Chain A
């Protein structure tokens, strides 16, 4: 059986894109047994230690009371390394099909009638409008590239 590629998209995001969603719609013309997703992004980690500590100290200005800031700065190490976090959630025409909120920068996921990857809901893989939402919780590296591929394992009926 030939896989049917539904989508293969790439993008580049920057720290300014933090706290935004990217919605990626796709159409499923016929119902099928299974949908596969491969989602990846890189880099994962901000390697520049100095830059990372600076970002943390800036955030402590907001999140930590003045009297505790000095101690927090001295213990900034506990929050390193800083990581980008992009999570994927899925909707079919009927509604929410779950989310995969975890730090893995490469996620190979699927949904099918009776099984699904952890975080996603098993159930009918019905024809219609679907959406992947990429949630950019935090981008700390100057640039971060992502790629999303979606395919079904079989050729749809012609």
Chain B
């Protein structure tokens, strides 16, 4: 499996951005991104000629469009063609989401709590969603240094509420990138996990390496492979979001591994059954070596937390006294640890679990990274449900 660094919310001068696709791609490549989604407002015309730009900058460009409507902005990516944003009624966004799905795309709520009209027209999410199962993702971190923004806190809480209600929804970041400009604020990355098969072409070579080398024209079709794989990864919630190190988590139970986005079956036994105490181990890793030179954090002890519908379950220190900043060009450590999840009393049930990394960034105590959830599914047995 491989993590792909993505920027999922961008604009060009085909809507109200002040950059061409070339300028955007160049900027993204310089920041160490492997992929971007172009999500211009209400148009896909900026994607014309994207294959050439992909080759030039060694970057995957996923087609998309931000539905920029009167009652909310909805980021849609991975579509084969245009879906009409103008039909969306406040009580009937479900039909809009359906039209996106029909075209092979996925849909997410963009910056759902950003102040709306007249300050930012339609920016606040005011659609009534009939079926939250249809929502693929929520952009819980919008803009630069997103983790300290109060509107993003609300989005993060909405995501958590929906997980608690039992929905399986992914969470992403998006810079809502309109212009090339330097910023001192931390830039967030959504890492999507794709299988090795998606990265390998038929001849067994690495497609990422190929893109970087500049694949020949006859190999053009192969670019479609990781694009679809990225959409599938996000659809399934194989995502980890960060303003620095890459945080990942795998749960192990009864000899099986469950990666982020997957479903761990939990058999409910009779209260007296010994198997009730079967353990689940969380294998966690914080990789400080990603996107070398692109971010830095002050020397400190980070806090790694495991959170679920039951609240914060466990917190451990991540001590990395020498090299948690990766701007030195030296070898960089990967912090790894295994944590056994507490065995729950019989009246409590874990619906989902995610990892969060906390620390101090530019003087603010904040989330630095979070994984998407692993879900738990109760498979009733012996009438114990």
Contacts and interface: CB of A to CB of B under 8 A. Distances in A.
A118 B113 contact: no
A32 interface: no
B121 A137 contact: yes
A52 to B, nearest CB: 8
Interface in B169-195: none
Given A101-B41, A116-B45, A137-B122, A59 B116 contact: yes
A101 B68 contact: yes
B42 interface: yes
Nearest to B150: A68
B154 interface: yes
A85 B121 CA distance: 8
B45 A101 contact: no
Interface in B134-157: 150, 154
A138 B121 contact: yes
B16 A102 contact: yes
B222 interface: no
A121 B124 contact: no
Interface string A2-13: 000000000000
Interface string B1-43: 0000000000011111000000000000000000000001111
Contacts of B12: 118
Interface residues of A, number: 38
B45 A98 contact: yes
Interface string A113-133: 000101111100000000001
Contacts of A72: 115
A68 B154 CA distance: 12
Contact of A101 (B42, B70, B82, B154): B42
A35 interface: no
A131 B41 CA distance: 19
A119 B150 CA distance: 33
Contact of A79 (B42, B48, B119): B119
Rank and list the top 7 A-B pairs by shortest CB-CB distance, nearest first: A101-B41, A19-B70, A79-B119, A99-B42, A137-B121, A102-B16, A138-B121
